[in-house]
C-alpha cells in the first residue's frame, strides 16, 4: 500500500472502546496514525498513551486534571481534536450526550466518524443527518449489531429489505424473576455475561436501555421504520444481528464477542484487512447458539425507548438524558435498579414533547430531563 497512514482521533481514549481501538491501531501502522487523543480525567493513562503514540493533539476535559501546558483543557477540547488538520477519521468513544458537538463538528468538516457514542445519534439523529449532508462527512457504526447490519446490507437494494433483527445478550438479569430485579445491586448489574465494557453501557445492558438506544440508532443509520426493527435475545453474543429480505431470506453476521473487529471495520469500511489477530471461527466451539423472546414487560426501558423513538422530536434526547442521569444515581447507590425505568418513564411523560429542532433545544431538553430525574428522587 502506498497511501500515507490516515490520522485517527480517539475521543475517550482511556475507556473500554478507546483502549481497544489503540490496540487495533497499533497493529496497522501502515494504515493509521494516532493523530489526537482525548480523555475525561484519567491523566495518568492518557500520559502513557501519549508517550506510546505521539499524537499531534491531546485534550483532557476535566479542568485541573493535568498540568501539561501543551494539552487542551475543558469540554471544547473534543471539537478542537476533530477539527485538527492531521485528523481524517474520528473514533467517537465518549460515553453519553457529551459527545454530540464533536460528532456534529466532524461530519460538518467532511470527516468519517466511527461512532461508538450511540447516544449522539439517538439524541440528535436528524441533526447529525443534516450535518453529514451539509459537510460531506459520514457516520460508520462501531456497535457490533450495527456493524453486522451494515455488512449484511452491503450491495442490497433498500426496497429488498423487510426488517432488521437486533440481537441482545439479555444482560446479567436475563433469567431473573421480575420481583428480584427491582433491588438488584450495582455489583449484580456490572456482571455482564459476555462483554467487558464501561460501567454506564453495562448497566444499560442490564436494563435493556442499551437495546432501545440501538433500535433508535438503527432507525437513523439505516432509514428503516420502527415497525421494521425487532429485538431477539441471544445469550452467546455470536450472531451480531440479522437482516431479513422481502423474500424471507435471512442474512446474519457472526463473530466471537470482541469489539476489535467492529472498531477496525468502522475505520476501514468498505475495505477489509488481513492480519486482524481474530481467532479462526469455529461454529462447533461456539455451539449451541440459542434465541429467546425479550421479556419486554419485565425490562420496560426497551419499550420506553422505542416509544420515544417513534414520538421523535426531543423525546429520544429526553429518554437518553433521563437514562444517563438515572444510571449515574444508581451507580452512586442513591436509587434502586427498578427506579431507572421509573425515572425514564416519568421524564418522558413530563417532557417528551419538548422542542427538538435545534442543537440548543435538544441540549435544553437534555438538561431538563436530568434535573427532572434528580428532583424525582430528591437527589
Ligand atoms: P468507558 O466509560 O469505558 O469510556 C468512556 C470514555 O469517555 C473515557 O475515555 C472517558 O474519559 C471519556 N468520557 C467520559 N465522560 C466524558 C465527558 N463528559 N466528556 C468527554 N469524555 C468523556 O465507556 P465505553 O464502554 O468505552 O463506551 C463508550 C461508548 O461506546 C458508549 O457510548 C457506549 O455505549 C459505546 N459502546 C461501547 C461498547 C463496549 O464494548 N464498551 C460497545 C458498543 C458501544
Ligand atoms: Mg451493541
pLDDT at 306 over 70: yes
Q: What is the pLDDT of residue 192?
A: 84
Find out whether 350 and 370 touch, Cβ atoms under 8 Å: no
Residue 356 confidence class, pLDDT cut points 50, 70, 90: very high
Sheet order of strands, 6-11 included: 72-73, 57-60, 32-39, 6-11, 89-92, 112-115, 138-141
Find out whether 190 and 173 touch, Cβ atoms under 8 Å: no
Identify the CA nearest to 105 among candidates 129, 123, 127, 83. Answer: 83
Gap from CA of 95 to ligand 1 centroid (Å):
4
Q: What is the pLDDT of residue 193?
A: 84
Rounded to the nearest 5°, which phi and psi values hold at 8? -115, 135
pLDDT in tens, 54-67: 999 999 999 888 88
143 lines ligand 1 (CB under 6 A): yes
| Cα dihedral: 5, 11, 14, 19 (round 10) | -40
Q: What is the pLDDT of residue 279?
A: 87
The full set of domains in the chain, from first to last, is: 6-141 (3.40.50.720), 146-257+293-311 (no CATH)
Q: What is the pLDDT of residue 277?
A: 86
3-state helix, strand, coil in the chain (%, to 5): 45, 15, 35
Average pLDDT, the chain: 96
Gap from CA of 211 to ligand 2 centroid (Å):
7
Gap from CA of 100 to ligand 1 centroid (Å):
13
pLDDT in tens, 112-157: 999 999 999 999 999 999 999 999 999 999 999 999 999 999 999 9
pLDDT at 1 over 80: no
Write the CB contacts of 116 (distance below 8 Å, at least 6 apart in sequence). Answer: 12, 17, 91, 92, 93, 142, 143, 263
Task: Indicate which ligand has the atom closest to the C-alpha of 81.
Answer: 1
User: What number of residues does the chain have?
Assistant: 379
b vs e for 101-130, b when ≥16 Cβ sit within 10 Å of the residue's Cβ?
A: bbbbbbbbbebbbbbbbbbbbbbbbebbbe
pLDDT at 296 over 80: yes
pLDDT in tens, 359-372: 999 999 999 999 99
Gap from CA of 243 to ligand 2 centroid (Å):
16
pLDDT in tens, 25-57: 999 999 999 999 999 999 999 999 999 999 999
DSSP string, 103-126: HHHHHHTT-EEEE--HHHHHHHHH
Nearest protein CA to atom 34 of ligand 1, as residue:
201
9 lines ligand 1 (CB under 6 A): no
Q: What is the pLDDT of residue 195?
A: 83
Task: Indicate which ligand has the atom closest to the C-alpha of 212.
Answer: 2
Distance between start and end Cα atoms, the chain: 56
320 lines ligand 1 (CB under 6 A): no
259 lines ligand 1 (CB under 6 A): yes
Q: What is the pLDDT of residue 351?
A: 98
Residue 2 confidence class, pLDDT cut points 50, 70, 90: low
Mean pLDDT of 1-23: 93
Q: What is the pLDDT of residue 10?
A: 99
Top mutation candidate among 71, 93, 195 for ligand 1, by most atoms within 8 Å of CB: 93
Find out whether 348 and 300 touch, Cβ atoms under 8 Å: no
Runs of H (alpha helix) within 161-233: 178-181, 186-189, 199-207, 209-222
pLDDT in tens, 196-248: 899 999 999 999 999 999 999 999 999 999 999 999 999 999 999 999 999 99
Amino acid at each position: 500500500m502506498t497511501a500515507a497512514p490516515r490520522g485517527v482521533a480517539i475521543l475517550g481514549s482511556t475507556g473500554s472502546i478507546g483502549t481497544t481501538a489503540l490496540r487495533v491501531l497499533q497493529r496497522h501502522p501502515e494504515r493509521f496514525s494516532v493523530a489526537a487523543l482525548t480523555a475525561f480525567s484519567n491523566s495518568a493513562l492518557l500520559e502513557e498513551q501519549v508517550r506510546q503514540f505521539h499524537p499531534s493533539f491531546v485534550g483532557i476535559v476535566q479542568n485541573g486534571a493535568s498540568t501539561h501546558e501543551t494539552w487542551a483543557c475543558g469540554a471544547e477540547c473534543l471539537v478542537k481534536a476533530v477539527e485538527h488538520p492531521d485528523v481524517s477519521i474520528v473514533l467517537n468513544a465518549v460515553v453519553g450526550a457529551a459527545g454530540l458537538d464533536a460528532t456534529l463538528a466532524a461530519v460538518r468538516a467532511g470527516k468519517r466518524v466511527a461512532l461508538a457514542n450511540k447516544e449522539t445519534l439517538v439524541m440528535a439523529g436528524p441533526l447529525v443527518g443534516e450535518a453529514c449532508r451539509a459537510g460531506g462527512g459520514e457516520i460508520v457504526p462501531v456497535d457490533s449489531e450495527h456493524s453486522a447490519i451494515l455488512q449484511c446490507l452491503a450491495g442490497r437494494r433498500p426496497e429488498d429489505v423487510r426488517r432488521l433483527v437486533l440481537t441482545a445478550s439479555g444482560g446479567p438479569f436475563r433469567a431473573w424473576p421480575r420481583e428480584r430485579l427491582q433491588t438488584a445491586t450495582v455489583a449484580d448489574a456490572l456482571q455482564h455475561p459476555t462483554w467487558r465494557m464501561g460501567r454506564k453501557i453495562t448497566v444499560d445492558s442490564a436494563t435493556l436501555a442499551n437495546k432501545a438506544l440501538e433500535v433508535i440508532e438503527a432507525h437513523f443509520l439505516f432509514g428503516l421504520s420502527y415497525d421494521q426493527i425487532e429485538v431477539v435475545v441471544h445469550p452467546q453474543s455470536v450472531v451480531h444481528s440479522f437482516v431479513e429480505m422481502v423474500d424471507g431470506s435471512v442474512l446474519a453476521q457472526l463473530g466471537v464477542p470482541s469489539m476489535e473487529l467492529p472498531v477496525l471495520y468502522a475505520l476501514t469500511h468498505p475495505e477489509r484487512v488481513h492480519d486482524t489477530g481474530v481467532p479462526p471461527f469455529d461454529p462447533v466451539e461456539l455451539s449451541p447458539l440459542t434465541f429467546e423472546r425479550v421479556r419486554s414487560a419485565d425490562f420496560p426501558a426497551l419499550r420506553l425507548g422505542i416509544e420515544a423513538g417513534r414520538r421523535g422530536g426531543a423525546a429520544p434526547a429526553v429518554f437518553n438524558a433521563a437514562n444517563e442521569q438515572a444510571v449515574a444515581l444508581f451507580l452512586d447507590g442513591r436509587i434502586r435498579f427498578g427506579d431507572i425505568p421509573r425515572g425514564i418513564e416519568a421524564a418522558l411523560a413530563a417532557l417528551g414533547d419538548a422542542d427538538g429542532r435545534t442543537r440548543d433545544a435538544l441540549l435544553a431538553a437534555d438538561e431538563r430531563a436530568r434535573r427532572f430525574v434528580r428532583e424525582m428522587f430528591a437527589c
